[in-house]
Structures are given as C-alpha cells and as structure tokens.
Amino acid sequence: MKINKRYVTCLLLVFISVSGIKGQNWKQGILVDEFIFEKAPFPEAHASTLAETPAGIVAAWFGGTKERNPDVGIWVSRLNEGKWSAPNEVANGIVNDTLRYACWNPVLYQIPKGDLLLFYKVGPKVSAWKGFMIRSKDHGMTWSAPKALPEGFLGPVKNKPVLLDNGELWCPSSSEDNGWRVHFEVTSDFGITWRKVGPINDGKEVFAIQPSILLHPNGNMQILCRSRSQALLTSWSQDGGKSWSPLLPSGLPNNNSGTDAVTLFNGKQILVYNHVKPPGQEAKGPRTPLNVAVSDDGRQWNAALILEDSPISQYSYPSVIQAQDGKVHIVYTWRRERIKYVVIDPEKLKTSRINHGLWPQ
C-alpha cells in the first residue's frame, strides 16, 4: 500500500500538538516553590498576604487552633538571604483579661518610601469584624500598637490595596452583614483619614466579596470578585472608581473561594485562583487545583500554571505581587497546615487560551 507522506506528516503534527497540550505539566516559569515554615506553634494557618519592602519580602497570615477560635492571631515571617524567619505573632484579639476574639485576614501594604502597613480584622464572626492596622518602620521586624479603623471600616478585606496616580490608596473591601456586598475604602494619607465608595451591589441578587483591583493602560479600573454564582465576577470603572458597571461573570469559574490578581509592569494581568466550577447547582466547590492565568485585557484569559493539583484539598486564598525585579511572588494556604511560597518569571510562562471557561486539556 502506498503511503501518502503529506497525510502522515499532518497526522504527526496533530499528534505532537495534542501531546504537547496533554503533556503540559503547567509548571514552566516557576523559580521557587517552598514552605515558609515546616513547624509552627499553631496547628492551622490561612489567609496569607505578602509585600516587598526595601529589606525584602514579608509575609503574614492568621494562625491558631482553628479559624474563628479566640487563640487565632496574626503571624509574620521575613525572607532574608533566601531564608524565612521563624513565625512571629504580631497581633492578637485580646480585649481584656477575660475576653479574646479571633483575628482574621491580614493584608500587607508597603508605602512607597514609607512604613509597612498591616491591616487585619478582629471579631467572633465575619459579620462582627472590627478593622485594625499596625505599622512597621523597620520592614516588619517590630510593629506599632494596634490602631482601630473608623467605625464601619475594615480596610482591605483580603487583597492588597492599589495606589492610584492621584495619591489615593484604594482598598478593595466587602461586607457580609447584610448580604455579600463589595465596596472600596479610600485613604489619601495612608490610613489617617478614610472615605468609602459603594457598595456597588445590593447583596440580594448578586453575592460578591473579596475583590482584587486591576489597572489598565487606558486608565480603566477592573475588579475580580469571589461569588456564590459559580463564576468569578467582574466589574469595570471608567471614571477613576466613581462609578462601576454591574457585577457580571468574567468567563472564569469560581468555587466560592478567595482569589487574587495583580497588574504587571507591562500592563498584563495575572490571576491566581482555583479553576473549579462547583458541581451541579452547588455554590461551593473543592479548593483544588490552584491555578494561574494571564490576560492582556482582563477579558480573555490564558492558562499559565497549575500550582497544586492534588485531590487532597485545600490550596486556597492566594496573594500575589510583582517585585521590582519583575518576578511574581505568590503565597497561599497549603491544606490549612502551612503557607506555600512561589516565585515565577512571567517572561517564561507558557500559556494556552481558556475557551468557554474550560482549562485546556
């Protein structure tokens, strides 16, 4: 039988193409993949955050016997010459000699040429949170006494603030006491005075919390939010945050777990999230795998990395920043036991288009 060489060549190219996608291990571009600590004086850790200071990377999270328990405090570790310092508790929820509440969701922010800020919440439950802030003048080694935020203000609820060109620090926030509602808390003097924008949804028809703020080259602002709608929700502002479009599905799934995103120096957007759609009509899905996606415009997303894919849950609540050297730094919860730290080179990412919300296979 005569073999058509052109046909065989086409088949081979198709096979190589398909095999390349299926054989992709989704790890290309990862430079560092390690735990911040192996042992700690607490059994559970969650909700990590990180910032770059003039002395290096600093990470924080809440740790204790279990989320909501009164012994849960805020812990910090500093990366120095490639090694993480031992976890150090820098804040707790002690009210008096007989009353103590849990601490929740720390968020770090480095003021340009200024203090390192650490926002956190204290309370017996989410709907009863009180916002606090502490400052460090020595890059996270020592901290000020806690300062309560104004009544009704929580600071950034999970994800980092973004500094606009007009000098305003925009803190993405949300509340859960009257439905899931997204709002912003804005300070022009790095935490001395505050104003609130929103909420931008009523919390009755659309349930959304924990936004991340992205900035686009044309001046538009975008947020990506956790939801109960099986989808990562997005909203846009074309007037510097004064008004926002309705929260709508972004085209990516959400398992009712926290995400984070950052605008890179080159204008691209990078998102860390669980690419998981809950089963059936459920609002919540597994917190594994943990994925990284990249976008040029905040609308069409491309698959880049799978940080964790074990069926053993959970890998969740990521925080992501880009350091001055261009590398992207990520921290996240590893099975509620430890905090994982990953560094990636965004120039080395190999991406594939995400179509119809499906991760490429």
Q: What is the pLDDT of residues 304-321, one digit of tens each?
A: 999 999 999 999 999 999
Residue 21 confidence (pLDDT): 40
**Alpha-helical segments (H) within the chain:** 5-22
pTM for this prediction? 0.93
Please give the Cα distance from 342 to 32 (Å, whole number).
Answer: 5
360: which 2 tokens? Answer: 């490429």
pLDDT band of residue 25 (cuts 50, 70, 90) is confident
pLDDT band of residue 14 (cuts 50, 70, 90) is very low
Phi and psi for 5 in degrees, rounded to 5?
A: -65, -35
Please give the Cα distance from 352 to 301 (Å, whole number).
Answer: 9
Please give the Cα distance from 347 to 59 (Å, whole number).
Answer: 24
Please give the DSSP secondary-structure letter assigned to residue 3: -
- Of 214, 213, 146, the C-alpha closest to 184 is 213
Mean pLDDT of the chain: 94
Is 20 a residue whose pLDDT tops 80? no
Percent of the chain with pLDDT over 90: 92
Residue 10 confidence (pLDDT): 39
pLDDT band of residue 3 (cuts 50, 70, 90) is very low
Report the pLDDT averaged over residues 14-30: 60
Please give the Cα distance from 162 to 236 (Å, whole number).
Answer: 15
Residue type for position 264: L
Residue 17 confidence (pLDDT): 34
Q: Which CATH number fits domain 33-353: 2.60.40.1220, 2.120.10.10, 3.30.565.10, 2.60.120.920?
A: 2.120.10.10
Is 104 a residue whose pLDDT tops 50? yes
Is 71 a residue whose pLDDT tops 50? yes
Q: What number of residues does the chain have?
A: 361
pLDDT band of residue 13 (cuts 50, 70, 90) is very low
Is 2 a residue whose pLDDT tops 70? no
Is 335 a residue whose pLDDT tops 70? yes
Is 30 a residue whose pLDDT tops 90? yes
Please give the Cα distance from 205 to 70 (Å, whole number).
Answer: 33
The CA-atom distances, in angstroms, between 293 and each of 8, 191, 268, 290 are: 35, 32, 11, 10
Q: Which residue is listed with tokens 């007037």?
A: 239
- State the CB neighbour count (10 A cutoff) for residue 143: 19
Q: Which residue is listed with tokens 């730094």?
A: 329
> Contact at 8 Å (CB) between 350 and 29?
yes
